[in-house]
Structures are given as structure tokens and as C-alpha cells.
Amino acid sequence: MSVSKIAWVALFGLFLTASARSAGLLETMDSEVSALYERNRDAIIRVHTQRQTAFPNGPSLRVGTGFFLDGEGRLLTSAMVVEAAEQCWIDWRGRKIPARVLGFDPLTNLAVLQVQPDQCVGTTEKLPFVTLGDSDQLKTGSLIIAIGYPYDQPSAPVVGFVQGFDIKCGSRTFITSHIRTDCRLQPGQGGGPVFNTRGEVIGMAVAAHMENQSYVLPIKAAKKVFEDIVKHGAPQYGWVGLSVTERRFVSLSGALGEWEVFVEQVSSNTPAAKAGFQAQDVLIRIGTNEIHRAADILNTMFHRRCGDRVNMTVVRMGTTQEVVLVIGQRPPEETELATRPTLPPVLPAAPRLNVVPVATPPSR
């Protein structure tokens, strides 16, 4: 056999080996996604709400997806589904279980509901709930699985990948970084959990952008809002009174330099003003965490609460200085402004089709 024929045989053998490995990989992925779905399907539920309207067709019914966080019957869903709702209930194994809204947050599009476990399961069975993961471990390219209820269809998984981590979408700004994915989600799937390949929830689907993109609230942020709502009935966001922006220097040769974040404006009589911040201060550190982009500040401040003391390092007129900032309570006018819609087009709550309105959700 000639050298060229030997080379072609070797290449063909490598191709067959690669094809076999690819087929094996796809079979493994298929098996893992199916197993993940089966393990968690009972912890993911359809949420119904009803509100009165001025239209002659009667009450408005909306539907979304939710998931149990613990065995005590507390679950997360989309704020868009429960906002202004007069009645709320969930589907549980073919039964309708009344649910109580503990609170919701328009800024993150997250709501917390409560059902009584004994209305769902008997004394010998525990209420299923998802396992939470670490959203900070995700990277661009990480495989994820979203599960939700599209329209009137049964729950189903959607496989996709992390495309990035955004603080903005066009001219709109999130309150903390969101995970951008290529999962194509349908109305009704908003509020559903998003899993990593280990079967852990790393976020909640909260918004859709363009045709094939969706945004996921990281579970780290969702846990903070959840804890605030359970303890206080509403999210507890601190207030600083400081607006910042970022810039990137360009050398004379046209090479891009490092990003830097600087103070654009300090509002009077605010925690930032009392701490001594000045316009054009360059922010370089929060505690021991370095600041490279504006998202670094937003993500850190998102998890701070009123009364927290934050040590910050700034460069002012070429001199490094330390500033101690005490997070303040957001004033009413700032709270009203902050709750205005800032998300990209949100996954709408799917209207319930072919359903006769009920006065009260049936109990067990």
C-alpha cells in the first residue's frame, strides 16, 4: 500500500473515531438532560393568577412558571405573573392549590409565593424542591437547561449556552448583572428555573431579548431578594446617591487601554456626599475587590443593605485616598423611580386559554 493510501486510511479511521465519540457525547447529553428533567419536574410548577379588569370578558387570568426553593412550600416565580393579582394558585399533580404572595420585586422581576405543604403532600411524603448552585461559576459557553411551562403545554426543557453577562440591554440598565443565554423561551416560561449540567439551579428566567436570546437572574441575586421578602416583605436595597460611568483610554497609536470607572455626579445630602465623594474620582477598589467596570460596583452594591459600611479606594487628582461609605435607606421618591420598568421586553405571562374563571381556587 502506498504512503498516500495509508494516510487516507488513517484519516478515515480518525474520522470514524471522532464521529463515534460525537455520537456518544450526544447520547450522553440526551440522557443527562432527560434525567435532570425527570429529577426536577415535580419541583417546577405552573402558577395561575386572577385579577379583575374593566373589560366585559371578565377577570384576567395569567399563567407562569415557578419552582419550590424549600420543603416549607416557598417558591419563586415572575413578578409579572403575580403583580396586582387578587387570587393566586398553583397546579400540583393535577390539583389546584391556593398560594399566598409574600412579596415581589419589579426591579428583578421576582416574586415569592407560599403554599401549605400539607395541602400538596401527605404526612409520609416531603415536598420536592430544587438544589441551588453557584451562579458565579458560570462562564461564557457554559451549557444550561431551562425548564418551564409554555402556553398550555406541559413543562419542557430548553437547552442552550451562556452567551455573556450583561449589566445593560440597549439603553436599559439592570440592577445587577444578568446571564445572557441563547435559550428561546416562550410566554409562560418566565419565572422558570435554569440549571447547570450538575442539575443545580443557577438562575431564573426573567426576560427575553430579540428572537433567540433570554436573560436569567443569577441565583445569587435571587436568593438575596428572596431572603429580603421573607424577612421584610419587600426587597431591601440600599442607597448611595452616586452616579458613575466608565471610559476606556486610547493611546496615540490607537491601542485600547484599560477601563476605568469614575464618579460622574454626587447628589447633595446623600450617603455619597457625606462620605466625601467628588465628581471625577476614579474608583479602584471596594473593600479588597478591584473595580474594572461599572458592573463591579453594581454587583457589589446589590448585595449591600442599609447601614452597611463599605471601604472604598479612589484616585483623586493623582492621589490615592480611602473613603468610608455608609449605605443609606432609599428615600420614597427614589424607590418610586427605581420600580419603573427597566428590563428589556419581559417574557409575558401566558394568558390561560379555554378556562372558565373561578371565584376561588379549589382547595384539596
Q: What's the grid cell of residue 275?
A: 462620605
Inter-CA distances, 364 with 24, 92, 95, 101, Å: 46, 10, 7, 19
Would the pLDDT of 338 be above 50? no
Q: Please tell me which residue, 221 or 249, carries the higher pLDDT value.
A: 221
**186/214 Cα distance (integer angstroms):** 10
Name the least confident of 55-59, 134-138, 146-150, 251-255: 55-59
Angle at 174 (CA atoms; ends 172, 176), nearest 5 degrees: 160
Query: Quick one: pLDDT at residue 123?
Result: 65
Q: Please tell me which residue, 341 or 184, carries the higher pLDDT value.
A: 184
**287 within 8 A of 323, measured Cβ to Cβ:** no
Would the pLDDT of 20 be above 60? no
The one-letter amino acid at 126: K
pLDDT band at 17 (very low <50, low <70, confident <90, very high): low
Please write down the HEC assignment for all residues of 304-360.
CCCCCEEEEEEEECCEEEEEEEECEECCHHHHHHHCCCCCCCCCCCEECCCCCCCCC
Query: Quick one: pLDDT at residue 344?
Result: 39
**274/291 Cα distance (integer angstroms):** 22
Nearest to 310 by CA among 174, 235, 302, 333: 302
Name the least confident of 109-123, 282-296, 326-340: 326-340
**162 within 8 A of 135, measured Cβ to Cβ:** no
Q: What is the mean pLDDT of residues 321-327?
A: 93
Query: Quick one: pLDDT at residue 56?
Result: 64
Would the pLDDT of 346 be above 50? no
Q: Which of 20-24, 60-64, 237-241, 271-275 has the highest mean pLDDT?
A: 271-275
Would the pLDDT of 236 be above 60? yes
pLDDT band at 124 (very low <50, low <70, confident <90, very high): confident
DSSP for 191-258, written as a single string: T-EEE-TTS-EEEEEEEEETTTEEEEEEHHHHHHHHHHHHHHSS---EE--EEEEEEEEE-TT--EEE
Domains in the chain with CATH codes? 27-234+340-364 (2.40.10.120), 238-329 (2.30.42.10)
Query: Quick one: pLDDT at residue 223?
Result: 97
Q: What is the mean pLDDT of residues 81-109?
A: 91
Whether pTM > 0.75 for this model: the answer is: yes
pLDDT in tens, 290-315: 999 888 988 888 998 889 999 999 99
Q: What is the mean pLDDT of residues 87-97?
A: 90
Nearest to 62 by CA among 292, 357, 263: 357
Q: Please tell me which residue, 354 or 29, carries the higher pLDDT value.
A: 29
Q: What is the mean pLDDT of residues 199-228?
A: 91
Please state, rounded to an integer, the average pLDDT across all residues of the chain.
Answer: 83
**199 within 8 A of 291, measured Cβ to Cβ:** no
Q: What is the mean pLDDT of residues 40-68?
A: 85
Would the pLDDT of 18 be above 60? no
**262/304 Cα distance (integer angstroms):** 20
Angle at 315 (CA atoms; ends 311, 320), nearest 5 degrees: 75
